[in-house]
Amino acid sequence: MQSKAPEDVYLYLALAFTESSLNYYIDHGDNGETVGPCGIKLEYWEDLLVEQNISPYSIRSCEAVFNELLEQYKTPYLALKKYKGIESQKKAWIVRKVFKIQKELIRKYK
């Protein structure tokens, strides 16, 4: 991971956990369009990952994609909402769950 802050690392782990339960070779159920523990849609992110020499089958892919979205959307909440593809408020609980897991990891390992 490029990031040194534990809070950031815990966010990427929480994100991967909610995407795949940290299963690196999970079947995301979309005929292989989404891969890896971070739920990377290669159609959108393959070029970025190749450019940064990051495997879509790594936790670093969560970091790369999230940080790219954070640059565009400016807040962690909005970046995560876009990462997860959430358009309705009914599904915003998923974003809150990621942050809740992150906070639990911070509390437990600080």
Q: Smallest Cα–Cα separation from 83: which of 100, 94, 73, 69? A: 69
2 pLDDT band, cuts 50/70/90, is low
Burial (CB count within 10 angstroms: exposed 0-12, middle 13-18, buried 19+), residue 14: buried
Distance of CA 34 to the CA centre of its chain: 12
**Predicted structure pTM score:** 0.90
4 pLDDT more than 90 = no
Return the SS3 of 108: helix
Kindly write down the DSSP assignment for every residue of 65-91, as one continuous string.
HHHHHHHHH-SHHHHHHHHHT--SGGG
- Give the pLDDT confidence of 28-57 residue by residue, as tens digits: 999 889 999 999 999 999 999 999 999 999
